[in-house]
Amino acid sequence: MNIDYAPLAGIAVIRPTVFGDERGFFMETWNQQTFANLGLDVDFVQDNHSRSRRGTLRGMHFQTEHTQGKLIRVTQGEVFDVAVDVRADSPTCGQWFGITLTATGGEMLWVPPGFAHGFYVLSNSADFLYKCTDFYHPQSEISLAWNDPTVAIEWPLLDGAPPELSAKDSSARQWSDIPLLRA
């Protein structure tokens, strides 16, 4: 596996070694010892799988309690994946990082606790899998508006059309109204 750290502290792009031939491929997507050797010594407690259609945007979500680190990958399709630093004492607080994740590329994204996270589906549909370091805690979940002008995420919207959102994400908060996380 290769690991590259993004400009935002703690975010990492992980590229597993893929072994393939005419029959298909094999790749190891999680090995606690390998990840610890790469500097990501984490324990996961929950796996999630989401399927979404083209133009769907899910996010930007985080929890103020039971903050979650997420190891993310796409197993079918293509998404633009984004993390926003919501750690009050971080030098990159309020900044975002985005990357296109594809099933064919096999790349994964590590988003540590302290980031709002979301993704936008670029392909006809996408299967999105992520491992979490803590359990879902809906009582403390916050949604940051996907189009907040302060954060100014540059989403690659298809044909410039607005994304398809859930009711929760349609009423997400602006940057000035979210509680930042404190260590």
Please list the active-site residues: 61, 130
Task: Provide the phi-psi class of 146: left if phi over 0, else alpha when psi is between -120 and 50, else beta.
Answer: alpha
Distance CA 125, CA 39 (A): 33
Q: What is the largest CA-CA distance in the chain?
A: 53
Residue count (the chain)? 183
| Residue 92 amino acid letter | T
Q: Nearest Cα to 118, choosing from 65, 172, 160?
A: 172
